């Protein structure tokens, strides 16, 4: 995976729009050491650019509002998913990158596609090969970008904005362990912050205490894909009685120290699973 990810806005002049829009206007580039994910052809200058001229303020607002879903929600066919993960949904009159972002919580994919119209104007995106970075790296890159945009607003004399409020709320949510769990579950359910029905969310959280939080997070993500309610712990217990078999946790086998050597965010889940399965067979002498 790429060792770095940068989101930048190089200042340019804008003579109209709101103060925050003008203050953060410039050349917007999403880049890794290998490529620009925003590169395209600018018809105004009849030449290629590494990115379009847009307002970074709108990008920052979109990133801050959708942070939990971008950080934790995997790819899905659920209704409305693209609005939280596709940058073209930002709107505000700009030609945004056809860039889709999603994560499995460990690895984040940035999928840059070319403009659908090969003669698109005023800016035609070239697209780029899929980029995969660690989710912690993506988080750091977004945090840095948001801080830079807010810093730019202050430098240009723009007072508190909606972005400041979104960023402040996000920092509070992330610093509160209980609230962070709720926000993560909402994201896995395909919901925006505060959108989950309180009773349903409380049920998932309660079941997580008995069945394990990670297990219920998997269930939440799967239910969002199927557009169904999360199966309750009681329903799972009934399912186990009907289709399961007697077992004891004490009889389970655990992978030894080799687990630590295998774990690597650079590996896709299927490869990590295959390597762990082989390591476990070797450990138990199964051949």
Q: Quick: pLDDT tens for 63-95.
A: 999 999 999 999 988 888 999 999 999 988 899
Q: Do both 28 and 108 map to the same domain?
A: yes
Report helix angle 162-175 to 56-65, nearest 10. Answer: 30
Residue-averaged pLDDT of the chain: 89
Q: What is the pLDDT of residue 196?
A: 81
Asked if residue 29 lies in contact with residue 10, where contact means CB atoms within 8 angstroms, the answer is yes
Model confidence at 172, pLDDT cuts 50, 70, 90, reads: very high
**Contacts (Cβ under 8 Å, ≥6 apart) of 105:** 71, 72, 74, 135
Return the structure tokens found at 235.
């329903």
- Tell me the backbone φ, ψ of residue 66, rounded to 5 degrees: -95, 10
pLDDT at 232 over 80: no
Q: What is the pLDDT of residue 3?
A: 66
Instruction: Give mean pLDDT, residues 264-273.
Output: 82
Measure the CA–CA gap between 19 and 281, rounded to whole angstroms: 62
Return the structure tokens found at 211.
């069945």
Q: Quick: pLDDT tens for 142-151.
A: 999 999 999 9
Q: Which of 139, 172, 205 is the last residue of a domain?
A: 172
Q: Do both 160 and 201 map to the same domain?
A: no
Measure the CA–CA gap between 185 and 69, rounded to whole angstroms: 10
Domain count, the chain: 3
- The pTM assigned to this predicted structure is 0.88
Q: Do both 123 and 70 map to the same domain?
A: yes
Measure the CA–CA gap between 83 and 90, rounded to whole angstroms: 8
- Tell me the backbone φ, ψ of residue 137, rounded to 5 degrees: -70, -40
Rg, Å, the chain Cα set:
22
Residue range of the domain that includes 161: 6-172
């Amino acid at each position: 995976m790429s060792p770095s990810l940068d989101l930048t806005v190089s200042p340019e002049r804008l003579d109209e729009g709101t103060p925050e829009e003008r203050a953060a206007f410039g050349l917007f580039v999403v880049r890794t050491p290998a490529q620009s994910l925003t590169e395209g052809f600018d018809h105004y200058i009849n030449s290629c650019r590494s990115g379009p001229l847009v307002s970074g303020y709108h990008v920052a607002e979109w990133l801050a509002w959708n942070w939990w879903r971008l950080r934790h929600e995997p790819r899905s066919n659920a209704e409305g998913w693209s609005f939280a993960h596709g940058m073209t949904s930002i709107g505000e009159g700009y030609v945004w990158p056809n860039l889709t972002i999603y994560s499995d919580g460990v690895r984040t994919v940035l999928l840059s596609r070319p403009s659908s119209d090969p003669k698109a104007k005023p800016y035609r995106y070239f697209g780029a090969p899929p980029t995969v970075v660690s989710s912690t790296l993506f988080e750091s890159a977004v945090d840095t970008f948001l801080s830079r945009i807010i810093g730019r607003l202050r430098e240009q004399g723009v007072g508190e904005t909606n972005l400041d409020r979104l960023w402040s709320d996000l920092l509070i949510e992330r610093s509160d362990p209980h609230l962070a769990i709720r926000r993560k579950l909402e994201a896995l359910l395909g919901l925006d912050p505060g959108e989950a029905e309180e009773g349903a969310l409380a049920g998932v959280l309660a079941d997580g205490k008995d069945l394990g939080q990670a297990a219920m997070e998997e269930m939440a993500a799967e239910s969002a894909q199927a557009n169904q309610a999360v199966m309750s712990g009681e329903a799972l217990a009934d399912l186990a009685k009907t289709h399961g078999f007697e077992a004891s946790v004490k009889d389970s086998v655990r992978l030894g120290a080799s687990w630590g050597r295998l774990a690597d965010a650079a590996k896709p889940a299927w490869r990590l699973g295959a390597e762990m399965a082989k390591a476990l067979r070797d450990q138990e002498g199964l051949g």
